Structure 1
Amino acid sequence: MPEVCRFYGIVIRMYFREHGPPHFHAEYSGAEAVVGIEDLAVLRGRLPPRALGFVVEWASLHQADLLVAWERARRHQTPGKIAPLE
């Protein structure tokens, strides 16, 4: 699963050829959440509140980039990298 971004110990990944609503996987300290790109809602899993806040802040700044990466990954292409939260 390609890594799209990494910041504050959080790793953002996308699987190749995923189905369902556009989403990404966020991992932090052994926890994982699947987050919808369009509404930034947690679809599955759980992250600590502070980590989830960082993930939502980052995703809100990069929604267009995330949708492009999603489409690339669905076509089994490398989704590319997205700038981290600073």
Structure 2
Amino acid sequence: MPEISLFYGIRVTMYYNDHMPPHFHAEYNGHKALVDINNIQVIRGSLPNKQLRLILAWCTIHQDELMQNWELAKDMKPLNKINPLI
């Protein structure tokens, strides 16, 4: 499960050949969430409110890059790092 970004203690990863819909995994201090890339919403799990706001803002900014990584992951190709939220 490659790490594609890390910021404010939030680790963002994506699995190769994962299930639909296109999503990524966000983890913070033992909390885990799956975030739908197209709808920019949590589809499973949870994060504390502050980290949730940060990850959804980051997803909005990097939505195109996340979809590119999703396509790469489906093809089992190396994923690109995505800039952290600063």
With the shorter chain as reference, the TM-score category is over 0.9
**In the alignment, does 2:64 pair up with 1:64?**
yes
| Displacement after TM superposition at 1:74 (Å) | 1.1
The one-character-per-residue Cα deviations of 1:22-60 (angstroms, maximum 9, x if unpaired) are: 000000000100000001111100100000000001010
**Identical residues among aligned pairs (%):** 45
Deviating beyond 3 angstroms after TM superposition, the runs of 4 or more aligned structure 1 residues are none
TM-score by length of 2: 0.98
* Equivalent position of 2:81 in the other structure: 81
Q: Normalized against structure 1, the TM-score is what?
A: 0.98
Which letter maps to 1:33? Answer: A
Q: Decide which moves more: 22-31 or 71-80.
A: 71-80
Counterpart in 2 of 1:9? 9
User: Which consecutive unaligned segments of at least 5 residues does structure 1 have?
Assistant: none
Deviation at 1:80, TM superposition (A): 1.2
- 1:74, 1:52 → 2: CA distance? 26
Q: CA deviation at 1:79?
A: 1.4
Deviation at 1:77, TM superposition (A): 1.1
